[in-house]
Structure 1
Amino acid sequence: MTAIDPTLRTTRTTCPYCGVGCGVLATPDGSGGAAIAGDPEHPANFGRLCSKGSALGETVGLEGRLLYPMIRCKGVLERVAWSDALDHVAHRMQHIVARDGADAVAFYLSGQLLTEDYYVANKLMKGFVGTANVDTNSRLCMSSSVAGHRRAFGADTVPGCYEDLDKADLLVLVGSNAAWCHPILFQRMRRNKEERGARIIVIDPRRTDTASDIDLFLGVKPGTDTALFAGLFVHLADNGALDKDYIANNTSGFDDALARARSIAGSVTATALATGLSEQDVAAFFAMFRETERVVTLYSQGVNQSAQGTDKVNAILNCHLATGRIGKPGASPFSLTGQPNAMGGREVGGLANQLAAHMMFTPPEIDRVRRFWKAPRIATHEGLKAVQLFEAINRGEVKALWVMGTNPAVSLPDADIVREAMKKLELFVVSENVLSNDTVEAGPHVLLPALAWGEKSGTVTNSERRISRQRSFLPAPGEARPDWWILSEVAKRLGFREGFNYKSAAEIFREHAALSAFENDGSRDFDIGALQSVSDEAYDALVPLQWPAREGQSPGERFFANGGFFTNDGKGRFVAPDVPALRSETNAGRPLRLNTGRIRDQWHTMTRTGLSQRLGAHLPEPFVEIHPDDANKYGVVDDSFARVTTDYGQSILKVVVSERQQRGTLFVPIHWSAMNTSHGRIGALVQSFNDPFSGQPEAKATPAAIAPYEYVFRGFALSRKQLALPPHLWWARAAIGGGFGYLFADNADLSRWPAWLHDIGGEDIAEYRDFGGGVYRAASFVGDRIEACLFIGPAHDAGDWEVVKSLFAADSVSDEQRRMLLSGKSTEGVASTGPVVCACFGVGRATICDTIAAGARSAAEIGAKLKAGTNCGSCIPELKRLIAETGGAAKEAKFAGAAS
């Protein structure tokens, strides 16, 4: 009998993408990759994975990985020993703190870190270095929810859980494109609608795919969520829908909050005027909410990423407190978290205005944490939040920065200023697992190789407070190390060995759990004291569980159904929000509002998802979406190019004209960076206005202008290796089968291209030249395989990108295919399947349309034939649109044939 290789066993772990926290079964393939499947036993997903999770096995290779410590010497990064890199970081930090004080150093962390990593980072800086300048990219996605929770509940407590999505009779999604951003949860909501008849309302300036086949869509004007929920609050009060006993026994501040709501939107008519909605739609929403006991309101970045985000959150919470619909099965407000461990970061004090274990910068709690940690110089005041931090770096007040697992040169607002600020640092350290991203290109002095997903071991906490194990199933490559180990080694060199002599992630977790229970006695929401003595073996085997997990009690109790808030008086607070007003107004030069967000198959700045050819095939280019009326007004055309300009920067983007976009607004995805596009860094256009309570920047309403931008030629290049394209191009790079693909547009003379291709392509080159017609096509070969190819033409005459990609991915091409290649059209055995619609199974639009034309009349029928839409379901709205378009065309053709 052949022995089974123990390194190839299946490991239960957790997905590294959104806050749903799906369980994953990972099985190494023995060649550096892994087979990925959903874990049917994990209560977050019960075996389902979205397109990104399904493609994780394509993203775990070592190409482009940072594998060794490096220090910049005379402008050049050089490989060094770990001891030298760690000594350098500690020495420079000590020098800067001694000269300028502890507040001259800072950490910028990530929701991608595991809880144990986060814990050590916060302990080191806040407890031992003595500064709270520790913030995280989670500041950009959910800190307004944190601030709203604290104002209303006295703690950052999420009262809802995923079970509520199954039991609710009304699901209200606010500023959430859950169909794309939290698809596993959205399919759970869809099943509730189909099986129990639950109704779904979507509130969003954009008619996203989440708004497909729902009961009511409210396309509010940007920034008017507070007005809508203020109007709802007044309506509930005036129509006998209040839970007066709950209000009297468990809350405070009701009268002031209601009076403020009346001043904002005191009637259906006033609400309609404030939000831009029809009175009929406002009245319908109010009635549905009023008449439904089991209602869950789910809110995400459209609420949080606002200069009024905290007030928006509290306006929502007021309506649930007023009706007592909180913490009950099927009835609660629910913040959908964007990152995999944003919740874990909150638990350990990953935000600059928090201490560990949900404690804050009050004298009793500062002293409590100080005593537990035996901290010699604990921070006594809040640190700088993300945007403030980089402003302080730019002013020269913060001299040293350590960035861990995030890409602020892309993701922060006013990103060009951020990039320039980092170049001013005396000590700039980056812990990463990629050798190149925009932040690495900004010139860190030290690069430290961290473990990537698949190699890391620890815990994460999802949006419903559920702690899950992330387990390693691949060996650590090169000299990469866990983030907690790197931090601990620096701490020892700073003189803090006793507090950081950790041997394992399990040891850190036990300390984290012990702190949560320290002097708690139920006075704080976050308590996992039942796990403070967990053995290494039990930690390894830990099953997903919800907090609180108090010593001697069953884990996962519900919060607030019967009161029991974490305020000083134990009562939940109604909060009177300010009258809503956008921080910056549009004007003649900036007549539109720029809204940013995510697309279905990409994640953050694509350092992981950009490695997957499936994920890059749906929307391969950065784009701006605009309403047809605005497109006509400003002279831009679908599938052309346009320049989008704000007071902060500009980008050139492909144009998508869509009636699903609201008039007066533009939508642009956040994912593209200088690593994968020439002109798509949208963070450089976003204003840096912040919410005054949370510090979260406004990413949804920057005043902007749009104008057409013309290119004479378009084309694409494919290569086995990454290419340095000629200058002055518009380009976007995507992973493709067998190599790299580049879509581009050009205004230069075609004559420069043949020499460029010959430089990269070798000797066996086939060419087609029609410079008079603006066409150049060429391909180089190594044996029977295409090594590189280049197609350029006017407008859309360059060739079929999908067909050429298919030929390029082949191990060999036939003589006939080689002869036909430069036509750029389908050849025998290689037909274009069109752009990918279903990324989970790689099903293209042309294949789907053919199936519809052959008689498929529902998404279920398409799924039965092609599998499309049967995994995460995020492509189902697009399938339904194709049915409407292709099915209608088929019916017209049939009718025309009968008439003739």
Structure 2
Amino acid sequence: MSTIQSSCAYCGVGCGVSVSSTQADWVDVDVSSLTLTGDKHHPANHGHLCAKGERLLDSLAQPNVLRYPVLRSGKPIQWDQASSLIAEKFAQTIAQYGANSVALYLSGQLLTEDYYVANKFAKGYLKTANVDTNSRLCMSSAVSSMQRAFGEDVVPGCYDDIEHAEVIVLIGANTAWTHPVLFKRILASRNANNTKLVVIDPVATATAKQADLHLAIAPGADLALFYGLLGYLADNERVNHEYITTHTDGFDAVVSHAKQLSTDLIGLAKQVGLTEQVLRQFYQLFVQHKTVLTASCQGVNQSVIGTDTTNAIINCHLALGHIGQAGCGFFSLTGQPNAMGGREVGGLATQLACHMGFSEPERELLADFWLVDTVADKKGLAAVDMFDALADGKIKAIWIMGTNPVVSLPNSNKVAKALADCPFVVVSEITPDSDTAKFADILLPAQGWSEKCGTVTNSERTISRQRGFITPKGQSKADWWAISQVAQKMGFQGFEFDSSASVFREFAALSASVKLAFPNKIFDLSGLTHLTQQQYDDLIPTQWPIASAEHIGQQGLRIFSDGGFATPTGKAQFILPAKPVTQETPNVAKHVSVLLNSGRSRDQWHTMTRTGHIASLRASIPEPVIQLHPDKLTNFSIADGDLVTICSATDEGATPFALARVVADQGIPLDMALMSMHWSKQFSLGKGVNQYLDSRVDPVSQQPGYKCQYVVLKPVLMALQGVVFGLHDPAAQGLCWQVAQTLANGVCHHIGFTNNEDGFAYQATAHSLTWSANVHGQRLHVQCNMEKGMVSAIKVLSHSRVNLAVEPMNAFIGKPIDNVFIKQLHQQINAGNSPLICACTGVTDAQIADEINAQFDQQVFNDGKQHLQFNKALDATQSSLGCGRQCGSCNSEVKQCAQTHWQNALSYIELEYPNATEEDVA
């Protein structure tokens, strides 16, 4: 068996993976011969993977794979034709409308080599900086804050700080779901080192439920919280005055404003939505401990005050002298596998390669290195402005690579219309099924994760090799190759790359030139400039800066530990934020409106183009859901399980998008709703949450403020709803609710009608068997369709939600209808459904209930009623079933489920045997 080391395709943790094959070589390897595990030697994960990472091989079986360039008409063409057409259209557009009439929109899914060539092409040769990336949507506020404070986009710490921290603060980060491997490491550190875990989030997330202290602050109050913390640290003489004087600027101006908040903790606590006791408890953690690590993610970044908030966090750690010290400081949790690599090469419209800006000396250096007369002379349009310019007709041609802006950008209906109206749209994708791919004039087949080779950089600045192990099928190509072909067709020199290694060497050489010219810059890959092809192929995970080839393999580097920074003065900058603000309240009726917060699902990734077709990952949340506090449901005249539309609270003329199913959740604040950002038209009739989030942005970072915008929910009265297994016509008339769910062997469709007569609700044929059933008080309509004596489809409908175990139901497809079949089908429908709790093991709520009850009975029998121990039963349950013991992302769900069933068992004893002795109970 041979093994290839690569990197995971998902979040910014940057986990290493080991892919092994039983075949003698890797030429045209059969996917069935492959196994995948975590790389035990990779410093990011030490062999651990999350549920998504464990199923990377399952992601390869895309339902529809793009293998050849395709025109909008559907006609396939050759690459030579495609690249010539793109070159011709781009050249004509620039000649007629100027360089800024074209744009590139990139992705944190691209490899660094792809990113580099794209930026060289646009900023160096097309002379436009209209090159942005979906990293703008998740990381740009952190980037802007670090640039303002440190002088450069540099994360100072590393993952090893987790083990050195006495206190870890997670703010705006549901790390248990979004970065499970890191969260597992945090929990291990707490167990080993008694580390205190604090979670700051309005929602009682899976992460918050496992914290030592959960601060359920008001939405948008994080800026005031940390602004007040700085004043509190100064009031309690906790700041490091020597460090401040020697290594920073601007402290006095910032702290004087901060003290205006800290002098009134009662008022501040009210403003941020906490009690004074909890606020003071949080602040005291910073006073009483020497090493505190604060890590933030989308909850901070995706805000109109995200940059100021992050700088408020950094201000506190600068005041403590924490930056660059073990177990201390600010850490940015990156959302995508190569968001940082993209920033290194200038992937954002607001920067140039190697962390350069648009000053004349920096532009001259880049032009000299790329052998062009000049490069783009000013910042380009960031993502939201870019698509606004597209809608306004100012951008006439756009090339989108590896991302799905029709779903992921705010005001997504406008984005879709802008692409529909744009004269020329190129999309590089692995599947033609994404919402954005539908708008392409030319659709290019990109290589997927298993096919392409290059490098990625994770959250702690570690560069890892991504190594392809599947022979590219059809004519799928690397993105750097596709761009180079177009560049050469446009007559540009400097794109004669013959491998990703040659691209990387040029990028490393550029970093060496930049470091020589601007020695205060931290980013440096000069030690990798002369890698041979074999050395590049063999490159092991290495953390930058890399000044020498001797540094290959280095890890655990902290930046700014000597107090020197990348600013012109060499000192870090305290940043005075805007006046702390709370959520703006538009002119809406509070009793019928709610703050819509966009979040993520545990087992899905972005717009689900990678994960939506994987049965085990779809099982936990098969439909779009919107979570609300139970006490809020009556305001909208809805109940748990109902379907609702979502309407803008400030735009009464807007059309509501298709439905979401209501889930009552005590962990959601009373005036908030939470909905996953993953859903798109590709998987349901709805088009996702972002079509009713407006395009407000942070004024510094230009990052959209996705969090907490007012909407109104309206109930939808369903005449019929249910599930179809087997053959189904997705275009059936009258459907208003339809979600396709991939199963282990097939697909089922969750459907709904607003009219009894619509579609095929009761349309039986000569080859159909229909009947009604009463299951636990619910009237069900069951219809089985047959072909050649075998069941081809099963439809189960009711006036309310139908709960079925979809995998066992789907197993009836293809079987003959006889008395045994009817009996078994009745039994399965009566059995209902038990929710999936653990995606890694497939363990359901019912299985946990059975095991908890068995453990309860065993303890009562052996130890007596007064010696019952829940933790002992939970540990035994997890040991027996394995749930929560693999990636750990479901730990809080497992515990909550177990607690519910444990309490039910206790209540049963108290109710049935209130005066029972131990002997009676046993």
TM over 0.5: yes
CA deviation profile, 1:789-842 (whole Å, cap 9, x unmatched): 21111214x462436445258x86795652235536269xxx767221110111
Instruction: Specify whether residues 537 and 803 from structure 1 end up closer, same or farther in structure 2 by C-alpha distance, changes over 3 A only.
Output: closer
Q: 2 CA distance for matches of 1:220 and 1:262? A: 20
TM-score where L is the length of structure 2 = 0.92
1:53 maps onto 2:48 in alignment:
no
Q: 2 CA distance for matches of 1:228 and 1:733? A: 43
* Greater alpha carbon shift after TM alignment, 715-724 vs 110-119: 715-724
1:301 maps onto 2:298 in alignment:
yes
Q: 1 CA distance for matches of 2:599 and 2:42? A: 28
1:807 maps onto 2:837 in alignment:
no
CA deviation profile, 1:282-319 (whole Å, cap 9, x unmatched): 00000011111111101000000001100000000000
Instruction: Specify whether residues 90 and 727 from structure 1 end up closer, same or farther in structure 2 by C-alpha distance, changes over 3 A only.
Output: farther
1:468 counterpart residue number = 464
2:283 partner SS? helix
Q: 2 CA distance for matches of 1:480 and 1:888? A: 55
Instruction: Specify whether residues 89 and 582 from structure 1 end up closer, same or farther in structure 2 by C-alpha distance, changes over 3 A only.
Output: farther
2:210 to 210, 213, 217: 213
1:871 maps onto 2:868 in alignment:
no
1:511 counterpart residue number = 506
2:170 partner SS? strand
* Greater alpha carbon shift after TM alignment, 636-645 vs 79-88: 636-645
CA deviation profile, 1:376-429 (whole Å, cap 9, x unmatched): 341010000000000001111010000001000000000000100111211100
Q: State the 1:757 CA deviation.
A: 7.7
Q: 1 CA distance for matches of 2:545 and 2:729? A: 49
Q: State the 1:320 CA deviation.
A: 0.3
Answer whether contact 1:314 1:575 (CA < 8 A) is retained.
yes
1:776 maps onto 2:781 in alignment:
yes
CA deviation profile, 1:72-109 (whole Å, cap 9, x unmatched): 2xxx2211111111111000000000111110000000
1:17 to 10, 18, 23: 10
Q: 2 CA distance for matches of 1:288 and 1:580? A: 22
Q: State the 1:63 CA deviation.
A: 2.7
CA deviation profile, 1:697-742 (whole Å, cap 9, x unmatched): 0000211122322213220012268843433321222111211121
Q: 2 CA distance for matches of 1:343 and 1:823? A: 54
1:413 counterpart residue number = 410
Aligned length: 879
CA deviation profile, 1:341-392 (whole Å, cap 9, x unmatched): 0000000000000100111111111111111111234101000000000000
1:625 maps onto 2:627 in alignment:
yes
2:370 counterpart residue number = 373
Q: State the 1:264 CA deviation.
A: 5.0
1:495 to 483, 491, 496: 491
Q: 2 CA distance for matches of 1:534 and 1:468? A: 15
Instruction: Specify whether residues 751 and 682 from structure 1 end up closer, same or farther in structure 2 by C-alpha distance, changes over 3 A only.
Output: closer
1:257 maps onto 2:254 in alignment:
yes
Q: 1 CA distance for matches of 2:508 and 2:729? A: 46
CA deviation profile, 1:486-534 (whole Å, cap 9, x unmatched): 00000100111x3100000011111111111114144211101111111
Instruction: Give the root-mean-square deviation of aligned CA atoms.
Output: 2.3
1:792 maps onto 2:806 in alignment:
no
1:707 counterpart residue number = 714
Percent of matched pairs sharing the same residue: 38
1:79 partner SS? coil
Q: State the 1:898 CA deviation.
A: 3.5
Instruction: Specify whether residues 197 and 781 from structure 1 end up closer, same or farther in structure 2 by C-alpha distance, changes over 3 A only.
Output: farther
1:729 partner SS? strand
Q: 2 CA distance for matches of 1:413 and 1:776? A: 40
2:162 counterpart residue number = 165
2:235 counterpart residue number = 238
Q: 2 CA distance for matches of 1:52 and 1:756? A: 40
Q: State the 1:260 CA deviation.
A: 2.7
The one-letter amino acid paired with 1:795 is S
1:225 maps onto 2:222 in alignment:
yes
1:165 partner SS? helix
1:610 partner SS? coil
Answer whether contact 1:143 1:304 (CA < 8 A) is retained.
yes
Q: 2 CA distance for matches of 1:813 and 1:545? A: 59
Q: State the 1:271 CA deviation.
A: 2.0
1:895 maps onto 2:910 in alignment:
yes
1:650 counterpart residue number = 656
1:77 partner SS? coil
Matching of residues 28-427 of structure 1 within 5 Å: 31-33=30-32, 34-72=34-72, 76-264=73-261, 266-427=263-424
Q: 2 CA distance for matches of 1:770 and 1:213? A: 43
Q: 2 CA distance for matches of 1:865 and 1:323? A: 46
Instruction: Specify whether residues 62 and 285 from structure 1 end up closer, same or farther in structure 2 by C-alpha distance, changes over 3 A only.
Output: closer
CA deviation profile, 1:172-220 (whole Å, cap 9, x unmatched): 0000000111111011111111111000111011110101132111111
1:603 to 599, 602, 605: 605
* Greater alpha carbon shift after TM alignment, 583-592 vs 49-58: 583-592
Instruction: Specify whether residues 832 and 708 from structure 1 end up closer, same or farther in structure 2 by C-alpha distance, changes over 3 A only.
Output: closer
Q: 2 CA distance for matches of 1:87 and 1:833? A: 55
Q: State the 1:21 CA deviation.
A: 0.7
* Greater alpha carbon shift after TM alignment, 350-359 vs 841-850: 841-850
Q: 2 CA distance for matches of 1:238 and 1:87? A: 66
Answer whether contact 1:410 1:605 (CA < 8 A) is retained.
yes
Q: 2 CA distance for matches of 1:637 and 1:818? A: 35
1:449 counterpart residue number = 445
Instruction: Specify whether residues 751 and 577 from structure 1 end up closer, same or farther in structure 2 by C-alpha distance, changes over 3 A only.
Output: closer
Instruction: Specify whether residues 133 and 308 from structure 1 end up closer, same or farther in structure 2 by C-alpha distance, changes over 3 A only.
Output: same
2:105 partner SS? strand
Q: 2 CA distance for matches of 1:106 and 1:17? A: 26
Answer whether contact 1:349 1:358 (CA < 8 A) is retained.
yes
The one-letter amino acid paired with 1:543 is I
Answer whether contact 2:364 2:374 (CA < 8 A) is retained.
no
Answer whether contact 1:11 1:26 (CA < 8 A) is retained.
yes
Answer whether contact 2:434 2:609 (CA < 8 A) is retained.
yes
Instruction: Specify whether residues 410 and 814 from structure 1 end up closer, same or farther in structure 2 by C-alpha distance, changes over 3 A only.
Output: same
Q: 1 CA distance for matches of 2:10 and 2:764? A: 38
2:331 partner SS? strand
Q: State the 1:769 CA deviation.
A: 5.3
Q: 2 CA distance for matches of 1:817 and 1:689? A: 60
Answer whether contact 1:721 1:739 (CA < 8 A) is retained.
no
1:664 to 640, 664, 671: 671
Q: State the 1:35 CA deviation.
A: 2.5
Instruction: Specify whether residues 25 and 260 from structure 1 end up closer, same or farther in structure 2 by C-alpha distance, changes over 3 A only.
Output: same
Instruction: Specify whether residues 817 and 420 from structure 1 end up closer, same or farther in structure 2 by C-alpha distance, changes over 3 A only.
Output: farther
The one-letter amino acid paired with 1:601 is D
* Greater alpha carbon shift after TM alignment, 727-736 vs 330-339: 727-736
Answer whether contact 1:598 1:670 (CA < 8 A) is retained.
yes
2:853 counterpart residue number = 853
Answer whether contact 2:735 2:758 (CA < 8 A) is retained.
no
Q: State the 1:474 CA deviation.
A: 0.9
Answer whether contact 2:595 2:709 (CA < 8 A) is retained.
yes
Q: 2 CA distance for matches of 1:509 and 1:649? A: 48
Answer whether contact 1:584 1:703 (CA < 8 A) is retained.
no
Instruction: Specify whether residues 211 and 14 from structure 1 end up closer, same or farther in structure 2 by C-alpha distance, changes over 3 A only.
Output: same
1:636 maps onto 2:645 in alignment:
no
Q: State the 1:893 CA deviation.
A: 2.0
Q: State the 1:765 CA deviation.
A: 4.3
